[in-house]
Amino acid sequence: MSNNIPIFSAKEQYPQIAADLEAAVLEVLRSGNYIMGQKNKTLEQQIAKVCGAKHGIGVANGTDALILALWALDIGPGDEVITTPFTFAATIEAIAMRGAKPVFVDVDEKTFNIDPKAIERVITPKSKAIIPVHLYGQSSDMDPIMDLADRYALKIVEDNAQAIGATYKGKPTGGFGDAACISFYPTKNLGACGDAGMIVTSNDQLAERLRCLRAHGSKQRYFHEELGVNSRLDEIQAAVLLTKLRHLDDWTEKRRAIAGKYFEVLKNVPSIILPNPAVKADYRHVWHQYTIRVQETNFGTTGATMRQQVIDGLAQRGIGSMCYYPVPLHMQQAFQHYGYKQGDFPITERLAAEVLSLPMFPELSDREIQAVGQAITEIMTEQVAVQPIVVPTPPVAI
């Protein structure tokens, strides 16, 4: 059976909000105010509220948000920032762009997020901050992380790019650290029609400095207090995001319902590990991605990995999938100079070899979910059926 099920589609969302979205954009175009207008200010206030923070500072993209947050916290050359190697490269780029050194620790196998128990072992006098990444839409375990920050006087910058609307013990992600960084890239749960990002914080002085840094180091036009950059969230994207924000709770609940249906259609598939549904009852997962693990076995005869056979089998049936992320950051060529090597973070490396994200967007239909489940069941069952018999090789006498 042929399908056409992408891993993500913005086209399905647009007709639902087209009239409101076009009206909002036209309002900005007709206003003649395209940078740092009222739409931006309103969006900053509303996103800060969603994250349980006092201030929002709109910036050009999520990567700039990370760089500026570290910059405003005076993190730079000689400093160390502790984070996970199982994330998108932007997290590490931001640390490197500030001249600081990323210090990796392994992740929790159940949550895919940074393992708090591993953090304390790498803290040194050079440690200045921790960046917990709320991966795939699920909060990191923040209580022990905040405890470490308090005990060692470390700053916390939450990478909340994938988890807007998620909660940990009733508190929203983005409201724990000194600052939190959000991406509004179009594929995110709340996505712009282009690049956009935001930093949220409850620190008045930090917010003031961030507003200065994003605008050429200037609080007053043509008067520059310090070196800064040009990283502003434009008014059209703010209008788009304000329009979409009204639907975020509904879209989130639809994602959560889709995840529940995936659990049902995939629960009996061999050699598949399903994501932990919520870790604990007091976590609210917003399912930016629904990510399974495909265990490597002796199945099949093509020489391809088991995961690749699933990817290929889905593609043949018209179903999209994606590996987030196939190569851990400590093994990426761009970061080899930090001295890490294969084997340093075994859980991360195992996950990178097994994870596979399935189609996930609020408009995914029950028929499409069933089609994905049926396809994976067929692929895995076929591979089990052809599993070769492996005869152990007798030990060689020496």
> Mean pLDDT across the stretch 314-334?
97
pLDDT exceeds 70 at position 302: no
Mean pLDDT within 166-179: 97
- pTM over the 0.85 mark: yes
Largest CA distance in the chain: 85
Q: Can you tell me whether residue 218 is helix, strand or coil?
A: strand
44-48, 178-182, 302-306, range with the lowest pLDDT:
302-306
DSSP string, 258-326: HHHHHHHHHTT-TTEEPPPS-SSTTEE---S-EEEEE---S--SSSS-HHHHHHHHHHHTTB--B-S-S
Tokens of 276: 């932990």
Q: Give residue-wise pLDDT tens across range 325-384.
A: 999 999 999 999 999 999 999 999 999 999 999 999 999 999 999 999 999 999 998 865
Give the count of beta carbons closer than 10 Å to the beta carbon of residue 101: 18
CA-CA distance, 338 to 307, in Å (whole number)? 29
How far is Cα 217 from Cα 227, in angstroms, rounded to an integer?
5
Asked if residue 129 has pLDDT above 60, the reply is yes
Q: With DSSP H G I counted as helix, E B as strand and the rest as coil, what are the percentages for the chain, rounded to 5?
A: 40, 15, 45
236: which 2 tokens? 């059209």
Cβ neighbourhood burial of 188 (10 Å; 0-12, 13-18, 19+): buried
14-38 pLDDT, tens per residue?
999 999 999 999 999 999 999 999 9
Per mean pLDDT, which range of 150-159, 218-227, 303-312, 381-390 is the poorest? Answer: 381-390
Burial class (CB in 10 A: 0-12, 13-18, 19+), 295: middle
Q: Would the pLDDT of 64 be above 80?
A: yes
Local structure of residue 177 (DSSP, 8 states): S
Q: Delimit the CATH 3.40.640.10 region(s) of the chain.
A: 14-245
CATH architecture of the domain with range 248-385: Alpha-Beta Complex (3.90)
Residue pair 168/280 in contact by the 8 Å Cβ criterion: no
The CATH code for residues 14-245 is: 3.40.640.10
CATH 3.90.1150.10 residue ranges of the chain are 248-385
Mean pLDDT of the chain: 93
> Is residue 301 pLDDT above 70, yes or no?
no
Whether 188 contacts 162, CB under 8 Å:
yes
